[in-house]
Structure 1
Amino acid sequence: MYLLTNVRIDNCSSLSHSLDRTMAVGYWSKRLVACLLNVSEARRTDQVEAVAKAALYDAGGVRREGATVLNIFNDHDYNRSVITIVASIDSIKEVILSACERAFGLIDMRAHTGVHPCLGAVDLIPIYPLGEEVGVEDCASEARAVAQGLTQRVPGTSAFLFGWADPPLQRSLAQRRKELGWFKRTSDLQAVRPDVGPQPQERFGLTGVGATPYVMNCNVTIDTQDLRVGRSIASAIRASTPGGLPGLQVLALPHEGAVEIACNVESVRGSGPGHATAGEPWPRFSIGGRPYCHAPASLIAARVAELAGRQGVATKGTALVGFTPRECRGLAELAISQGIAEFWKEQHRIRM
């Protein structure tokens, strides 16, 4: 069972208005970046939408041109939401900072509960290149500026850096999270040394800010409450395991009376396998003329189903959180060309 997106867009009423939009998106589409903003709140959806709208409108309610929120994914058990924001790299800093400022004003980590690991009210700010003229290095520069901006706009906040925003080591998000105790049920914030800002405060926690090639999320639910089964599957398919899938970072988490195999699907350099796997080739795209690819959801679902079946466990469904890199760019171009800021309200999710 896949979570898909069905979109209906009305035609522009004015031809000249449409042409203006088309010319504008021709420029923006080459400089687009995505931020999959992870916030530690999902049970109060009005607050999550307030964060999304803060990215799109200034303090006077004026819409920011060239910015859109494509999707808001809420998970009640995790008490975590992922807001897919797309804008030009020229404006992404202000878009993100405005959203984060609102989130820090609404979310108090001292009152947070949820089964998903987290360290901060704004837990993660990854910036990904989507356009032809934007490289990961450009996103890294903006990410470092966002981290500095957070501590200035919201006194008491602090951040760690990952990926290309973490020179010279460029440590991965998984490595930084291990170093900082993100995977523990309780972490000692007083033992944490942030890269930017003061010692983390309990209210705000610690925020990860970084830049990498695109990362999507693919979650497969298995029909058991036995976390040991889930952990064995997670271990078998993650990239660090011999025979695992390239680019996969995996957790097994309790979720709605079952176990979810939660996969961060990182884009990897190269063109992927030369043949189709699970009936589908590895999706490919380019950044700065260099080829990248990512494991397809069908392959991840098939691998999990195979491993679960060996232990007598069935799968219940697969969900993509947000979009693939190509989908993200295509929908962003569509939304911006049509002047749709709150695009998440225009899409209709269906299960097939």
Structure 2
Amino acid sequence: MASTSLGRRLVACLLNVSEARRKDLVETVAKAALYDSAGVRREETTVLNIFNDHDYNRSVITIVSTIDSIREAVLSACEKACGLFDMRTHTGVHPCMGAVDLVPIYPLGEEVGVEDCAEEARAVAQGLTERVRGTSVFLFGWADSPRQRGLAQRRKEMGWFKKTADMQEIRPDVGPLPQKRFGLTGVGASPYVMNCNVTIDTQDIAMGRSIAAAIRESTPGGLPGVQVLALPHEGAVEIACNVESVQGTPPSQMTAGQPWPAFTIGGQPYYHAPASLITARVSELAGRHNVSTKSTALVGFTPHQCRGLAELALSQEIAEYWKEQRKIHM
């Protein structure tokens, strides 16, 4: 699809909320991004996808808008979610700390940089704590100025990976000490992060963790930009990967039949590990234990898909695009 003037100004927010079992309420949050309190549609904004996971009790809402319109769309969705979801009654196997757990903003268009997204992220963090009294935020990525600590590091610092974090020990960047109802929200900006989840046909979580460790970026021989957890999921184990975009030139060799996807932000080259390679690597490692893979799911598309679908949806004035395309499976 040819680039459009609108497309060059687009950004994405993959809004993570701690609810999936009441899908009607999650859709209510998505619609809050699209329509104001009078029901008037916000211009230049679409929701491409709602990914619900029952076991995790977590949903990811893919909101795409122009850099000029993203703030109000995201803030309205967050405000609605805080009114509907209560962390005091939440259950699910996926780690989480907030009713609105994660608010990452990514540049999609050539005329938007990561710093532009960081400015909007900081405004969202401030706006959320002002609109919903009692909400608390930690910042990550480019929004965490000047240190620019990554999401994984900030989550460790906040105790996100613990089963029961001590909220009274947490010092948020914006807002008061976290309250049990709202919990703690991460808000940040970075180059696009793709979510790729590979399910292996076993209930052996120790095996899953060994596979996760093997493909993690920090492991020698691991995959660039891949942060990963192994979690029990629907009677199996899911290798849940955050696939970060890496600055630089991608490897020249083909992997699993595909080149490494590449794009630019502010004229700088970036690339990310292809989902096919992640699937192949997990399949290879699981196969050593005579275990097969069951499926691979992308949550929120690749950067190219996200922009292309957003341009299509906006050109056809389709606000609720998720009704056209619920979920991508590979």
- Work out whether 1:89 is the aligned partner of 2:67: yes
Larger Rg: 1
- 1: CA distance, partners of 2:329 / 2:102: 28
- 2: CA distance, partners of 1:334 / 1:305: 34
Alpha-carbon distance, 1:314 to partner: 1.1
Q: 1:285 aligns with which of 247, 257, 263?
A: 263
- 1: CA distance, partners of 2:207 / 2:76: 41
One-letter amino acid matched to 2:199: T
State how 1:1-352 maps to structure 2 within 5 Å: 26-347=4-325
Alpha-carbon distance, 1:27 to partner: 3.0
- 1: CA distance, partners of 2:86 / 2:325: 30
Alpha-carbon distance, 1:29 to partner: 1.1
Moved over 6 A (4+): none
Q: TM-score w.r.t. structure 2 length?
A: 0.98
- 2: CA distance, partners of 1:227 / 1:117: 15
One-letter amino acid matched to 1:334: L
- 2: CA distance, partners of 1:348 / 1:190: 38
- 2: CA distance, partners of 1:350 / 1:125: 21
Alpha-carbon distance, 1:97 to partner: 0.4
Alpha-carbon distance, 1:26 to partner: 3.3
Percent of aligned pairs sharing the same letter: 78
Q: TM-score w.r.t. structure 1 length?
A: 0.92
CA RMSD of aligned residues (A): 1.2
Unaligned ranges ≥5, structure 2: none
Pick closer, same or farther for the CA change 1:350–1:116 going to 2, 3 Å. closer
Which protein, 1 or 2, shows the higher relative CO under an 8 Å CA cutoff with sep ≥ 6?
1
Unaligned ranges ≥5, structure 1: 1-21
One-letter amino acid matched to 1:267: S
- 2: CA distance, partners of 1:347 / 1:271: 32
CA contact (8 A) 2:298 2:328 kept: no
Alpha-carbon distance, 1:346 to partner: 1.5
Q: How many residue pairs were aligned?
A: 329
